[in-house]
Amino acid sequence: MEGNTRENLGSWVTLLVAGSLLAGCSAQPDDAEASGPSRSPSATASPGPGAAPSGASTADSVFTPDASLVPKTARAGRSLADAVVFTPDDWGRGFVAQTPAQSAAGTWPVLGEDCRWQREKLPAGVLAALSRYSVLNGAEGEGAVKVTAAATVHASALGADQQLATTLEEVLRCPDQQPRDGERITGLNSVGTPFGAREQNYADDSVIEIGSYTERGGAAQPYRWTVARLGTVVVAVSVTGSKDHTQDELNQLGSDALARMLERVRQQLKGK
């Protein structure tokens, strides 16, 4: 499964770079708290309570969780997010925590009308949201690689699906965004790929964004943001690198992380 995930994510990047840029299938952004780009879901619409019950799935779903293991409380949601979201050690040798190391409890990132990211209180229907920020500092004269790993646990699959849909809408509304003071993400484009489309067989829905990141007037760096949903859980990864790291290296880093986080969701929610 991880191998398929990496191959498919790699093909998405190829499509984007080649110019096959679509906008309007599903998705969402990251956070606004660390010293590198991060994003997540926006609360433009609170997930409705009438969605499919937690753990519900259909023949079109890639994974059927054990209904007894699907989080139904905020405490269970926080526990799942904590188990799934990458720490610096998970990213690999040399990665350390940024400052702050993770998002504030009980909040999630929201993209304002001015295209600036800010954190707000979790809306109804969202049990938990967690982002962790890590960095691989380069040698003298080399740029750093900044990464974010995030998970959002919803009370319903419909709420999780809404998160992805909002992401694509936000790229259309704000192709240029400001994660924090002095930072810009520009030229964003996105592709949404639901389960079964283009042989996507690892998540119920998925999205990738590509653009450029600049910090305090510095040189532009490549930026990637990938999002995937399994049932009521949405996981996401952002990767920002410098000219000292190839596109292939950055793409592989992000797709590997997303694959492993999805596998953690499966391990946490599958039955015996």
Q: Which domain holds residue 121?
A: 2-44+63-269
Instruction: Give the angle subtended at the CA of 117 by the CAs of 115 and 122, to the nearest 5°.
Output: 125
**Which tokens in the block code for residue 152?**
């959002």
**pTM reported for the whole predicted model:** 0.80
| Averaged pLDDT in 10-residue chunks for the chain of 272 residues | 43 39 34 52 34 37 90 98 98 95 95 96 97 88 85 97 94 94 93 82 92 87 92 95 80 94 96 68
Do the beta carbons of residue 225 and residue 236 sit within 8 Å? Answer: yes
Query: What is the C-alpha to C-alpha distance for residues 250 and 241, in angstroms, rounded to an integer?
Result: 7
The domain tally of the chain equals 1
- The answer to whether position 51 is within a domain reads no
- The answer to whether position 228 is within a domain reads yes
- The answer to whether position 108 is within a domain reads yes
Peptide bond into 88 cis (omega under 30): no
For position 65, what pLDDT does the model report?
93
For position 260, what pLDDT does the model report?
97
Do the beta carbons of residue 26 and residue 221 sit within 8 Å? Answer: no
- The answer to whether position 53 is within a domain reads no
- The answer to whether position 50 is within a domain reads no
Query: What is the C-alpha to C-alpha distance for residues 188 and 180, in angstroms, rounded to an integer?
Result: 16
For position 37, what pLDDT does the model report?
57
Q: Cα dist. 204→60, 71, 239 in Å?
A: 8, 18, 22
